[in-house]
Amino acid sequence: MDTKGILDIIQHNGENQAGLIAILEEIQAEYSYLPEEALRLVAKETGRSLADVYGVATFYKAFSLKPKGRHCISVCLGTACHVRGAQKIVEEFSQELGIKPGETTSDNEVTLETVNCLGACALGPTVVADGHYFPHVSRNKVSDIVDAARNGLETLDGKTDGRVFPLQVSCPVCRQSLMDPDHHIDGHPSVTLDASFNGRKDRVHLSSLYGSRAPASGNGVPHNSVTRLHCPHCQSEIPSFSDCLECGSPMAALYIREGCTWEVCTRRGCQGHMLNLNQIDLLKNDEGK
């Protein structure tokens, strides 16, 4: 294990709770899992008990104590996906890859997992491969998803790739458009928000392409800090109804014209985002108060 590399990761992430998650994320990105030796070093250097560090490492599904493959495929077995036949999809992936859920292929390329809900219930059965959502998955799509994951899903082209699509995003409170036609990311108008952290403020721009992993722009708020996001028109704080599946930070729920919310992680640097087709009633109820 590269002890110096891990000490560097600990040092530049600080020692608070958000820092601990960021430390574990970076170690996992380096090793594809959290080696025991690394967790011991994190506990020692941050002054936490080993039980605390293990508690965080085992609480979030994004972390693994076992080596993972280069690619990760997660099949949702939540209720909405289950009633649409998700168990059969899991079996098809198991057969295609020759492994059970929780295992990694012998070439260390692909890990198969099951999860309880990916927040896109109306699109079920839902599968996420390397952070990219595949909606309405049927058994005959399984081998294509495996091939796509093995070939690399990092490069997405919004013009030709059906897994990414542009969103029109508005403030959930005042309903004014948050689209900025003068600031493009991924070739589309970006989504503009105000971010604040410990009295520091910043104007941030996010890619409006659902499925994009492009980082948000803006430099006034430190990397890895959990920010409050505000509408630049009415200054209302964007509400949160759930936590990020990737890092556990609160998600900010933005309104989409099509009648659902787009939730984005409020931790600077985390690219966790998801469509949530259940939150719209909650927002309407809030409006009627």
The residues pairing with 256 across neighbouring beta strands, listed in sequence order, are: 169, 260
Residue with Cβ nearer ligand FES (32 or 276): 276
**Least distance in angstroms from the C-beta of 117 to ligand FES:** 4
**Least distance in angstroms from the C-beta of 232 to ligand FES:** 31
Residue with Cβ nearer ligand FES (22 or 128): 128
Q: What residue type is 39 in one-letter code?
A: L
Residue with Cβ nearer ligand FES (69 or 124): 124
Q: How far is CA 78 from the centre of its chain?
A: 17
What's the rounded Cα separation, in Å, for the pair 253 and 286? Answer: 13
What's the rounded Cα separation, in Å, for the pair 32 and 251? Answer: 25
Residue numbers of the site for ligand FES (CB under 6 A)?
76, 78-81, 117-121, 124, 126
Output the residue with the shortest Cβ distance to ligand FES.
78
| Other beta carbons less than 10 A from residue 150's beta carbon | 18
Q: Which residues of 175-198 are buried (b: 16+ CB within 10 A; e: fewer)?
A: eebbbbeeeebbebbbbbbbbebe
**Least distance in angstroms from the C-beta of 138 to ligand FES:** 15
**Least distance in angstroms from the C-beta of 139 to ligand FES:** 17
Residue with Cβ nearer ligand FES (117 or 153): 117
Is residue 278 within 8 Å of 263, Cβ to Cβ? no
Residue with Cβ nearer ligand FES (38 or 81): 81
**Least distance in angstroms from the C-beta of 8 to ligand FES:** 37
